[in-house]
Amino acid sequence: MELVWEYIVRGVMGVFFDANGAFDIIPMAMVFSGLMLGIVVGATPGLNGPFAMALSLPILISVFGVSNEALLPILGFLIGLMKGGTIGGAVPAILFNTPGTPDAFLTTLDGYPMAQKGQGLKALKISHFSSACGDTFSDIVLFLTAPVLAVLIENVLDLPEKSALIILSLSFMAAVAGKSPIKGLIIGILGMFLALMGSTLSGNGARLTLGIDALGNGLPLTSAVIGVLVIGEVFLALEDTARDRLSKLKAAVILPEGDNSFGLKDIRQIMPRICTSAAIGTMVGALPGIGTTLAATLGYDAAKRLSKHPEKFGTGLPEGVAATEAANSAVSGANLIPVMSLGIPGNFAAVFLILAVESVGDFTLGPSVFRFTAIKEIADYGTIINKDLVVAFGIFTLMVMGNFFNWTVGWWLMRSLGILARIPKTIMMPVVLLITLTAVYVQDGGFIAIWVVLAFGAMGYVLRRLEISILPFVIGFILAPKLEELIRGGYSASGGDALFLLKSPLAVFFMFTAILIVVFVSRQSAGKSESRNR
Amino acid sequence: MKFIISIMIAIGLMASPAQAQWKPNGPIKFWIGFGAGGGTDTQARTLAKELEKLKGWRIIPENKAGGGGTVMAAQLKKAPADGQTIGLAINTTFDFATLKNDALSIDDFTYITMTAGSQTGILARADSGWKTLEDVAAASKSGTKIVWSNWGALVQAGSEVVGEKLGIKVNHLRMKGGKATLNALVAKDANLAWGGGIQRGLVAAGEVVILASAEDKPLVQAKDGKTLKDYGIDHYFGFQFLLAGPKNMNPEAREAITKAIHEVLSNPNSETRKFISKQYPSAPVLIAGKELEDRLMTNYNANKALLKK
């Protein structure tokens, strides 16, 4: 226990002090500015947390470099963005009936009626309080479960089981992320296929590079992911704006002033809803592939069901706002459970944290991080320590700091953001496009990055138009190399047994569940569309 | 006569600085054959900074990871040979990987200088109780499944050779890079692993033990340990860090860069030297010129013979 404590202390110290023991304000400042920017971004319709994370990552890398010291400031900023994004979304949802982020859609149901009654400020206070509660709860769950889960996994799972577990999470993601599990599966496999490009472990040279040497290490990861996520969205928005050039943004309504007090009585009223929603959001966050939007839906639904007066939901009920916001904010935090314990990203925010870790320093996420190596000082040699574990606790510290800033100053920013809902897309999208192209050019080594980002952008556009979720595509693309390494390893470590995946009961169970999930969910969705057609 | 001598001295003076004072015509691209944050990366970036300071050149380091340095090498091969594009990888990128890669040949490059040598050895977890390769052989014979993690085809061939010699039935586990190879051992995915120097901390902490050295002498952390040569295996599986340029590189540039690097690495106050002495003990390896070319060719032929076996 003493050892655990020692690691925690070193992790915390690593955030506040640099290698020479001098006080270092940068990581803290980065969390703060990330959180502030995240709230602003969340409050801007058309932008969201992961979007901003995508744009910032290459810029952060060009500012801080790729050394190990750069990791905490960069992650601090990204974590701030991740947290801020879900909070800010509520602002325009409440004030203008326009959700700033998709997961704030349900906030409009009760938030906007409250604003119409003159309680806009109160709704904002409720939403901030609930968000902060949900987020804090989720972080605490992460701190407690990730290390335990990681140690468990590292001790129980061997190569075949680890491979099977990745296959299971991919199929789960394909099944739940979009409307059609089969489409999700196909697109996930396409993502995995594109990841085959580049060098293999065989040492026989690069494969599938179309003769382009610069693709020898595969498609540049960050450019590809940013392409699908950001550029695809930009293309879509540009098309939409071209189409509805004539439609004007809603004129701002001047809202009446009502009772905007928020005290203990209110907290007592909404607290039960916050608790259920925080638990739901945390659970959803821990599972790969289900996003914040579903968490918000489930949280709102549960609040309605548990309420004594469900018919009042949608008329401006504080519980409604609290339930949605606590649920969607509780996702960030818990979404790092699969990342920290397995190295599997479950949503876009997690994807960008993984990308940051892969591009900067030699820290790797995954179960091997939580190894409590005895700390020893050896003369003329240095300290023996598991540095990765110290970094992991440093990351936890950054998250706690994010929560602290959110509780203390998040509110002040939130109440002054109403204006952002009115930035037209015709201005914002070209700016986003310009920043993206410049940023990937700098990070991923020149023009090859530009071509990749545009090609993947076109792909992202097509997928969105076909209403296929892009999450399985991105996660498939990111996890394929890891899966290949595990399968190759499992095969050769078994002495070349082609059936190695089916020799361990646990692996068979994972594989079977993977198939079952897809079959079950596609039947369900087929049933739904049938009943719709009737 | 005096006049002639002084003219000759003057010519000599004019000629030699001209040769030593090769000046890049713009920034030097310094490509790194491995990913960010690792040993090669740290070494290259520190070296680049000190070279800039020493010579006033502008040097831009860039990671081009993949395929054990070959992804960088494939691009270096096609870069202009003016001395303004150079790349740091390891010797096996050039004297081994080229044997298996149709797109690359050992003759495609100009070799500038080595900078450091590895501490390659065979490792086991301390809790396995194994102290020597004989212990592993005994365990294998009594039915323990041996899974040996490695980072590339050359060391994997090494596992084969060792296994054959000592009667160990080996199952290979290929990982991406030295750190992942060691992690596989610690995570119990493997019970033997190759280590190139990254094992330093874990060995000092007593979590991992060195069973044998694959260098020409025992490893620094196991001074009394055996080498593979003691087991009758006449092949080194260690590696050296190696700086190269494209084929037919400007000889003046080659000389100027070699001299500058040697000057940095010979300075006891140099950060790069300190890093190398700690990470790849005991000191930098400054082999260049003809000696370097001969050494790579010898390795190349030995590796060719090894692959044929």
Q: What domains, with CATH codes, occur in chain B?
A: 26-118+239-308 (3.40.190.150), 121-231 (3.40.190.10)
Greater confidence (A240 vs A30) lies with A30
Both tokens assigned to A422: 């009115």
**8 Å CB contact of A206 and B97:** no
Residue A322, in any domain of the structure:
yes
Q: How confident is the model at residue B86 (pLDDT cuts 50, 70, 90)?
A: very high
Q: Determine, yes or no, domain membership for A289.
A: yes
Please indicate, yes or no, if residue A104 is contained in any of the structural domains.
yes
> Taking residues B209-237, what's their average pLDDT?
94
pLDDT at A369 over 70: yes
> CB-CB: which of B41, B97, B183 is closest to A203?
B97
- Does the CB of B55 have a partner CB in chain A at under 8 Å? no
- Give the mean pLDDT of chain A: 88
Confidence bin at B258 (pLDDT 50/70/90): very high
What percentage of chain B exceeds 90 in pLDDT?
76
Q: Which residue of A has its CA nearest to B43?
A: A67
- Closest by CA position to B54, among listed B274, B276, B270: B270
A203 and B75 within 8 Å at the Cβ level: the answer is no
| Contact check, Cβ <8 Å, A492/B173 | yes
Chain B residues with CB-CB distance to A205 below 8 A = 67, 70, 100-104
Among the listed residues A260, A359, A82, the one whose alpha carbon sits nearest the alpha carbon of residue B65: A359
- What is the predicted pLDDT for the residue at A368? 78
Q: What is the pLDDT of residue B10?
A: 53
Average pLDDT score over residue span A177-181:
83
Domain that holds residue A349: 2-243+263-533
Is the confidence at residue A417, as pLDDT, over 70?
yes
In a domain, A254, yes or no: no
Hey, is the C-beta of B112 within 8 angstroms of any chain A C-beta? Answer: no
Is A168 a member of any domain? yes
Residue of B66, B104, B202 lying closest to A217 (CB–CB): B66
Instruction: Give chain A's largest Cα–Cα span.
Output: 79
Number of H helices, E strands in chain A: 22, 4
- Please tell me if residue B70 touches chain A, with a CB cutoff of 8 Å: yes
Work out the pLDDT band at A249, boundaries 50, 70, 90.
very low
Contact residues, chain B, for A362 at CB < 8 Å = 35-38, 179
Predicted pLDDT of residue A227: 93
Q: Is residue A393 part of a domain?
A: yes
Sign for the CA dihedral angle at B244, B248, B253, B254 comes to positive
Report residue A420's pLDDT band, with 50, 70 and 90 as the boundaries: low
CB spacing of B66 vs A485 below 8 angstroms: no
Residues of A in contact with B179 (CB under 8 A): 362, 364
Looking at residue B17, its pLDDT comes to 47
| Residue at A258 is within a domain | no
Per-residue pLDDT at A46: 78
Domain tally for chain A? 1
Model pLDDT for residues B274-288, shown as the tens digit of each residue: 999 988 888 999 999
CA-closest candidate to residue A140, choices A1, A267, A279, A238:
A279
Q: Is B220 within 8 Å of B119 (Cβ atoms)?
A: yes
* Rounded distance between C-alpha atoms, residue B208 and residue B125, angstroms: 4
| Tens of pLDDT, residues A495-524 | 888 899 998 999 999 999 999 998 998 888
pLDDT (0 to 100) of residue B18:
45
How far does the CA of residue B212 sit from the closest CA of chain A (Å)? 22
SS (H, E, C) A218-251: CCCHHHHHHHHHHHHHHHHHHHHHHHCCCCCCCC
The answer to whether residues B117 and B239 touch, using CB atoms and an 8 Å cutoff, is yes
A45 located within any domain: yes
Mean pLDDT computed over B123-148 = 95
What mean pLDDT value characterizes chain B? 91
Structure tokens at A471: 């999450």
Q: Which residues pair with A384 in a beta bridge?
A: A376
The ipTM of this complex is 0.81
Determine whether the interchain pair B62/A445 forms a contact, defined as Cβ–Cβ distance below 8 Å: yes
Q: Does B281 touch chain A if contact means CB atoms closer than 8 Å?
A: no
Average pLDDT value for residue range A179-192: 91
Query: Quick check: A460 pLDDT over 60?
Result: yes
Where does A65-119 have alpha helices with state H?
A: 71-88, 90-96, 105-116
pLDDT range class, residue A391, cuts 50, 70, 90: very high
What pLDDT does A261 receive? 84
